[in-house]
Amino acid sequence: MKAVIPAAGLGTRFLPSTKAQPKEMLPVYDKPTIQYVIEESVNSGVDDILIVTGKGKRSIEDHFDRSFELEHHLRTKGKEDFLKEIEYISELADIHFIRQKKQKGLGDAIYCAKKHVGNDPFVVMLGDTITKDTVPCTKQLIDSYEKFGKSVIALEKVPDEKVERYGIIGGEEIEDSIYKIDKLVEKPPLSVAPSNLAIMGRYVLTPDIFDHIENIEPGYGGEIQLTDALSKLDEIYGQIFRGESFDIGNRIDWLKTSLKFALEDEEARDVILEFIHGDLI
C-alpha cells in the first residue's frame, strides 16, 4: 500500500510565517510537521509515499534528501547524535514528489496521485493533523480496511462549536466505534450537520475514488472537495480512532501542540514549566 500526503496549500492562516516557508515545514517542538506524518505512515507499515506539493515547497524535498556537506561537517566535528538524526530523516521512506499545478482543492490534489497509486488501495494523510497512539491511527484504518474491503476514514467527536470547521458524517454504528456512512457534508453549519463526527485527516481509499473525483463539480469554496467524491462511493466506513489528534491548522492550535510535545520531553519539561510559572506569568 502507498501513501499520499497533500502538501500544496498556501498556508494563509499562518501568514506571514508561510510567505516563503511551507506550513508543512513549520516545527512542532523539534520536528517539522510533515515529519510526524511520514513517521506515522512508516510506523503503519507504509513506506512508499507520494507528497503532492506546489510552488514554493522545495524545502520539503530538501528536508528528506541527503545533505552531504552537513553530514561531513557533523562527522568531522564528532557530533554523532546530530549526524544520526539527519541520516535517519533521509532514510525514513521512499518519498516521491509531484506538483499540483493549480490550487483546485483537496480532491484535485489527491487526483494528482492517480498514476503513482494505480489500481490499489492507498492511504491519504493530511499534514495539518498529527495523531498519537501506541497503534498509529493509519494502522488502525488499514486493519479496518482489511476487515471490510472498503474505504475507511478516521473520525473524531468534536464539540458543537467546531463542527463547521470539518467534514461531518452521518451513518449507523455497526460495531463499537465503526460506522457505515450514508452522508458526508463539508463544513456544515451546526443546525444542519448530521452528527458531531468529524473527518480527521486520515483515510484508506479504494482506487475508484479517482473516477468520482474526476466527475464531481466544484463544491464548497469553489474547489474540488474530497468529501463530495467520498459521498459517491458505493460503500464507505468511518472509524473513531483510538488515541489523540492534534489539529495544527491554525496558529493557536499549532502553538498548543508544540507546547504539549515539549512538555513530554524529559529534558525540556522542567525548564518549560519553570518558565511558564515563573518568568512568563
Tell which CATH classification among 3.10.580.10, 3.90.550.10, 3.40.190.10, 3.20.20.370 matches the domain 2-247.
3.90.550.10
- 10 — pLDDT class (breaks 50, 70, 90): confident
Tens-place pLDDT, residues 208-217: 999 999 988 8
For residues 103 and 194, the model is more confident at 194
- Helix or strand (DSSP H, E) at 98: strand 94-99
- 276 — pLDDT class (breaks 50, 70, 90): confident
Q: What is the pLDDT of residue 120?
A: 94
Among the residue ranges 6-20, 37-51, 141-155, the one predicted with the least confidence is 6-20
- Helix or strand (DSSP H, E) at 269: helix 266-274
- Percentage of the chain exceeding pLDDT 70: 98
**Residue partners of 174: CB distance under 8 A and separation at least 6:** 180
Domain locations in the chain as residue ranges: 2-247, 250-280
DSSP state for residue 114 in the 8-state scheme: H
Tens-place pLDDT, residues 11-22: 788 888 888 888
Please compute the mean of the pLDDT values over residues 131-141 and round it to a whole number. Answer: 95
Are 59 and 21 contacting, i.e. CB atoms less than 8 angstroms apart?
yes
Burial 193-230 (b: 16+ CB within 10 A, else e): bebbbbbbbbbbbbeebbebbeebeebeeebbbbbbbb
pTM of the model as a whole: 0.91
280, pLDDT greater than 70: no
For residues 178 and 248, the model is more confident at 178
Tell me the three cell numbers of residue 10. Answer: 498556501
Tens-place pLDDT, residues 91-126: 999 999 999 888 888 999 999 999 999 999 999 999
